[in-house]
Structure 1
């Protein structure tokens, strides 16, 4: 691991593309890359999370943000990616550094081996002084397999490279305790518990796919990985250094002390739910008192069609999420084990195995200030209630 300071900067589509003409805002890009060049000279490794490909490609496919369907957006991303990266490359060369592109999917972030492969690629680029520009692969991902917003994806990358700071540049100057249009809205400069302000986070921009809610979710993910988050307006002149040096107001979500191991941080911070378990209430209470394996006899219900090695979200019978962990069995296998608790794994599955669905080394009990996922509802796919 490098001793370099590290920062992940996320830029939304509305900052890079004019909302009416759907053309690139070169003035903003120059200000951004000028600041990044200065940060690199100060000793920072920088990853840029950049939206914008879809917006910039819509003219080519004859669509607007309002009437573009999924296939239109995939085609637009294929067109716009060339425009976006060509512009980044030209401007970066003006400031004396080079760039590389990394396109990722949910699977690249959620599957451990692919996550490590992406991390290793970024590390090698850093070694050569090259700035990675990361984005979701909008050309190939379907609606069901998308992260859906670059805010949380940026937080996953910050976790991946053990960044010191995550900067989310947006169209407003930070977080308010209610919609900024309200004359009584109060600006929040420092944030420790994001759950206090979730009710004030509705709305997205015309071009963007994430609003303030996804930024707070990202900040919560980052703070548990030991990374502070800055939410600020993406102005043209010195959009990064002016907030890094405290010259203009912004919202800062502070890191939560020393993070857990990289393994447990990866286990905890998820982008999608592969599946979930509901535990008997006494087993859930015991788990929160002292971490212990989740046994097949503890399970009340199983949700989702998951595979061995997926990360499951664990709930008590009252719907509170209490843990996340890597499953030793597929949903079909776990269902068989839970339905026939007296039989051995060899009898039920055809091979011998310890009947712990999740072991302690592959599980994290959630801290009180970690944002939970809502428990699955009855209209979602339910594999079985036992």
Structure 2
């Protein structure tokens, strides 16, 4: 039986009580990466930084951006490359520059400089990332380095999922909160049914049961990997949508799910 947790508003208030010195790692999925949502992330970054916190952005979307660019230039990648991994790596290599450019242009309007980290599977850039966080006007934007990794290796497959990558990086550099953004906006009971209900707070082990019991497996929001991210991060995880995140941080919205790590 799934056990839901109450008093989520009080818990959220405690969770976001003081930003000073805290590190927030925010992951945004491919389906949510667009100019409007990147602008929303800029607003969130400003809000957190002005209160003494630091934000780290983990972004998906390079593959989708690359596919769009290749189509625009008349390149049929499906025809030219039979191996799926090779197609993915080329699309990521083509799409990453335009993806990071969007972040760079928009964050610059807020007075920030973007530092790009394309992380390898051994996460060797993390000392530089830690140093980066000393500077409030340099915003790290992370992605996995798909073009240069062997995507068939199991440990590489795990980190090439950006929910897991954000959780792993967040755990290693001791972030205070992992925020996972999704178009779905949270974890639902009876997902995609007439009586679907947003779950505001639940222990991650109980959330596993909820996802498993769902006929749709909550696949639209990739909830299984988000629950696994909580297990990797070993701290609480906040799931919401890009459009609601700032309001959630300001306690003006209850459209979120908190995955509790500890009982």
Instruction: Note whether the superposition's TM-score is higher than 0.5.
Output: yes
Change (3 A) 1:27 1:214: same
Q: Which residue of 2 aligns with 1:6?
A: 23
Aligned pairs for 1:116-155 within 5 A:
118-129=125-136, 130-144=138-152, 145-146=156-157, 147-155=159-167
Q: In the alignment, is residue 95 of structure 1 matched against residue 110 of structure 2?
A: yes
1:338 — aligned with what? none
Residue 70 of structure 2: SS of its match in structure 1? coil
Whole-Å separation in 2 of the counterparts to 1:247 and 1:89: 29
How large is the RMSD of aligned CA atoms in angstroms?
2.3
Please give the residue correspondences for 1:307-386 in structure 2 after superposition, counting only pairs within 5 Å: none
CA apart distance, 1:64: 8.3
Matching residue of 1:166? 178
- The CA deviation string for residues 23-60 of structure 1, in whole angstroms up to 9 with x for no partner, is xx212211211221121111111110000111011123
Aligned length: 227
Superimposed CA distance per residue, residues 186-224 of structure 1 (whole angstroms, 9 cap, x where no aligned partner): 32111113333231372545xxxx7110011112222x2
State TM-score, norm by structure 1.
0.55
Corresponding residue of 1:220: 231
Question: Paired residue for 1:59?
Answer: 68
Q: Is the Cα–Cα contact under 8 Å of residues 151 and 168 in structure 1 kept in the other structure?
A: yes
Assess if the C-alpha contact under 8 Å between 2:70 and 2:77 holds in 1.
Answer: no
Please give the alpha-carbon distance, in whole angstroms, between the structure 2 residues aligned to 1:59 and 1:253. 34
| Mapping of residues 8-87 of structure 1, within 5 Å | 8-16=25-33, 25-62=34-71, 69-87=84-102
**Mapping of residues 253-332 of structure 1, within 5 Å:** 253-256=259-262
Contact 1:61 1:75 in 2 (8 A): no
Q: Deviations over 1:100-129 (max 9, x none)?
A: 111113333xxxxx3xxx332111111123
Contact 1:61 1:72 in 2 (8 A): no
CA distance, structure 1, for counterparts of residue 68 and residue 256 of structure 2:
34
How far off is 1:255 after superposition?
A: 4.0
Larger radius of gyration: 1
Q: Deviations over 1:137-167 (max 9, x none)?
A: 1212233133241111111111022111111
Higher normalized helix content (fraction of residues): 2
- Aligned 8 A contact 1:37 1:96 in 2: no
Deviation at 1:4, TM superposition (A): 1.1
Give the equivalent residue in structure 1 for 2:239.
231
What stretches of structure 2 of length at least 5 have no aligned partner? 1-19
For CA contacts below 8 A with separation 6 or more, give which structure has more relative contact order: 2
